[in-house]
Structure 1
């Protein structure tokens, strides 16, 4: 099995989750940051995983564009979708359901929320103010759901 994890990360949490996921997947795994590389030949891959953080209710534009532009090829693959967010679980499940194209949602064998993190040292001034008000904290917080990442990998490994 050859797997591609295509993701975009704004402050590093999604990238860290993609790295953890790669460690638990069988076979050869390539990770591709869509902020750095956009064109990729999907033909060598049996499985493709798409991952993005959620900001203001939306996945990052690079992931959205990649999913839309490559939808026909993605529908031919074993597919996984994940998001990272510090929102509450019921909110995040809805965001996962509405942010990826419907046909990809139906095709995906694994869909999951991997949790999230706040790293104030990596935020700009405006982001720090927003997070301090919304989350009522000024401390770094990590809520990465490692067990969800492992279960996601196990689901893909069984395909």
Structure 2
């Protein structure tokens, strides 16, 4: 592949970093943690892939994409998110609304991968947010819980890791298709 590719990620608990590593390895791309890349570094890439975890619908570190949006407009821009929610059209629309309103979303290819959750590993702010979410889930009643809800509740007792290398296949195929 003649295209120069950068995979940039922001990760709090490690799952996004794992996905970014798998993607970079598969594509022979340069891999950067968000704090290690500068705007001027973007010039040498034709394809930029950004990955971040979802927290309350917001992509961690997405400000980098927004801030550099004009510079990225003439590049292949792919964003992947990592979270516990299953990907659906509703999920996609929420991600776009919460993160890219006003931006030309037609220039951004968006992917979502299943993540991991362990309440015990969370920082104090995330623990507080998750306690609130747990309370809401428990109020639903067992019949109304989705598979995503059940996985989240499991994460309060023990680690739940739904990450899988197979989730990156569509993104990889897409990159190959745009770089033929």
TM-score (ref. length: structure 1): 0.82
Question: Counting helix residues as a fraction of each chain, which structure ranks higher?
Answer: 2
Structure 1 runs, 4 residues or longer, greater than 4 Å off: 128-132
Q: 2:104 and 2:26 mapped to 1: Cα distance? A: 23
Unaligned stretches of 5+ residues in structure 2: 138-151
Residues 156 and 65 of structure 1: CA distance in aligned 2, closer, same or farther (over 3 Å): same
Q: Report the aligned-residue RMSD.
A: 2.2
- What is the CA distance between 1:59 and its match in structure 2? 1.2
Question: Counting strand residues as a fraction of each chain, which structure ranks higher?
Answer: 1
Unaligned stretches of 5+ residues in structure 1: none
1:32 is paired with a residue of what secondary structure? strand
Q: 1:18 and 1:101 mapped to 2: Cα distance? A: 25
TM-score (ref. length: structure 2): 0.74
Tell me which structure has the larger Cα radius of gyration: 2
Number of residues of Structure 1 aligned to a counterpart in Structure 2:
153
Listed one character per residue, the Cα deviations across residues 43-101 of structure 1 (whole Å, up to 9, x for unaligned) are: 110100111111112111xx222112111111110111111110233353233322235
Aligned to 2:20: 18
| Residue 65 (structure 1) aligned with residue 63 (structure 2) | yes
Residues 93 and 10 of structure 1: CA distance in aligned 2, closer, same or farther (over 3 Å): same
1:67 is paired with a residue of what secondary structure? helix
